[in-house]
């Protein structure tokens, strides 16, 4: 891989700044026959909970003119089965593995991490968009204080890379970013999906198995880009940007807004080779601009010409 693409978060070097987002890449091996896994600097697994989850009732995904609405419900095999199926695989995996952890209580987050801490994984991405049953179902991301308390406890439980994934739906993104940094996150990733709906006008029912779900795809990019810009100006830890990234040009925008790395999600369904394409675009862009590394793009947004 081109040296120009290498980036670092803390003491960890990544061969490329492109990460496969949680929920779109399974546990990695599902794509091994159709993509070069080392085109990704890392993959984030689908969300993992302590016990197996069947997920939400179907239909779970509906396509809209400008993106996808999903209501998967954190369907996953549970931690014990995850260890059984992937412990040996990850010993020789061609790129970094980050496990996305989703749970309903602080203790469940800690239990998952304790069980898999021995595995050959780089670290964890905390999905704080999960409902906290200890606060009546309020999501961890709805209150910066609740998010802070969770991240702080997880930080004490592991020395591996800790990324907190921020939701755009409930509170000021700057406050949530600052709380995550103060609690000990090594990096933050944003944004998770926006809440969205799709209604079948013939039946009057939702087109997915729940009234609403997570909306992703090209339509959310402008909003995600703004939130990444705001978060990057708030914290001193690396920001991993995501939301509607479909091309190398999109990736460059996120870098300019302040992201140190980017995640691609829904675009993988349309183009499994998206990481390869983005890497090529970045290399060509750097050559054209006379730059030696992708880090030289980060935070170079100049604002409005009228300012």
pLDDT in tens, 40-85: 999 999 999 999 999 899 999 999 998 999 999 889 999 999 999 9
Could you tell me what percent of the chain has a pLDDT over 90? 89
Average pLDDT over every residue of 249-276: 97
Question: What does the alpha-carbon distance between residue 189 and residue 166 come to, in Å, rounded to a whole number?
Answer: 6
- Residue 158 CA to residue 169 CA, distance in Å, equals 28
pLDDT of 141: 86
Per residue in 88-123, pLDDT (tens digit) is 999 999 999 999 999 989 999 999 999 999 999 999
- How far apart (Å, rounded) are the C-alpha atoms in residues 86 and 93? 10
Alpha-carbon distances, residue 17 vs 147, 293, 299 (angstroms): 26, 11, 15
Which is nearest to 76 in space by CA: 101, 58, 97? 101
Are the C-beta atoms of 46 and 26 separated by less than 8 Å? yes
Closest CA to 39 of 19, 11, 12, 21: 19
Residue 136 has pLDDT above 80, yes or no: no
134 band by pLDDT with thresholds 50, 70 and 90: low
Structure confidence at residue 131 (pLDDT): 57
Q: How far is CA 201 from the centre of its chain?
A: 33
Give the Å distances, CA to CA, from 261 to 10, 79, 237, 285: 13, 28, 12, 16
> pLDDT at position 171, please?
73
Question: Which residue's entry shows tokens 């606060």?
Answer: 135
What share of the chain has pLDDT > 70, as a percent?
97
Rounded to two decimals, what is the model's pTM? 0.96
Over residues 19-43, the mean pLDDT reads 95
How far apart are the C-alpha atoms of 125 and 45, rounded to whole Å? 9
| Whole-Å CA distances, 103 to 79, 114, 133, 154, 257 | 11, 13, 9, 12, 31
User: Hey, which residues are catalytic here?
Assistant: 130
CA atoms within 13 A on the CB side of 64: 21
- 10 Å CB burial of residue 299 (0-12, 13-18, 19+) is middle
Superfamily of domain 3-55+73-198+216-296: Aldolase class I (3.20.20.70)
- Which residue is associated with the tokens 């021995």? 118
Beta bridge partners of 7: 14
As given in the structure block, the two tokens for residue 285 are 């862009």
What backbone phi and psi angles, to 5 degrees, belong to 120? Answer: -80, 70
Is 90 exceeded by the pLDDT of residue 305? no
Q: Residue 4: what pLDDT? A: 95
Which pair of structure tokens corresponds to residue 5? 């693409």
What are the residue boundaries of the structural domains of the chain, listed by start? 3-55+73-198+216-296
Confidence category of residue 271, pLDDT binned at 50, 70, 90 = very high
């Amino acid at each position: 891989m081109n040296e120009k693409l290498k980036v670092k978060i803390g003491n960890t070097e990544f061969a490329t700044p492109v990460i496969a987002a949680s929920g779109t890449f399974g546990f990695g091996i599902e794509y091994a026959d159709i993509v070069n896994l080392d085109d990704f600097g890392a993959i984030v697994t689908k969300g993992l909970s302590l016990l197996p989850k069947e997920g939400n009732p179907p239909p779970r995904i509906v396509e809209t003119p400008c993106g996808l609405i999903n209501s998967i419900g954190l369907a996953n095999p549970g931690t014990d089965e995850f260890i059984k199926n992937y412990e040996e695989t990850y010993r020789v995996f061609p790129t970094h593995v980050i496990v996305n952890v989703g749970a309903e209580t602080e203790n469940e987050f800690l239990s998952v991490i304790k069980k898999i801490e021995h595995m050959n994984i780089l670290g964890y991405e905390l999905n704080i968009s999960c409902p906290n049953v200890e606060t009546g179902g309020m999501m961890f991301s709805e209150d910066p204080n609740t998010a802070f308390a969770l991240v702080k406890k997880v930080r004490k439980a592991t020395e591996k890379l800790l990324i907190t994934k921020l939701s755009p739906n409930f509170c000021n993104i700057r406050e949530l970013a600052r709380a995550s940094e103060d609690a000990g996150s090594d990096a933050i990733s944003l944004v998770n999906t926006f809440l969205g709906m799709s209604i079948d006008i013939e039946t009057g029912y939702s087109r997915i198995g729940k009234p609403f779900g997570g909306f992703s795809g090209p339509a959310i990019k402008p909003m995600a880009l703004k939130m990444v810009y705001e978060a990057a100006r708030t914290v001193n830890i690396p920001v991993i940007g995501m939301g509607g990234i479909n091309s190398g040009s999109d990736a460059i925008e996120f870098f300019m807004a302040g992201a140190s790395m980017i995640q691609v999600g829904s675009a993988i369904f349309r183009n499994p080779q998206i990481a390869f394409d983005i890497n090529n675009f970045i290399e060509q862009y750097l050559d054209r601009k006379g730059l030696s590394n992708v880090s030289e793009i980060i935070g170079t947004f100049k604002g409005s010409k009228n300012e």
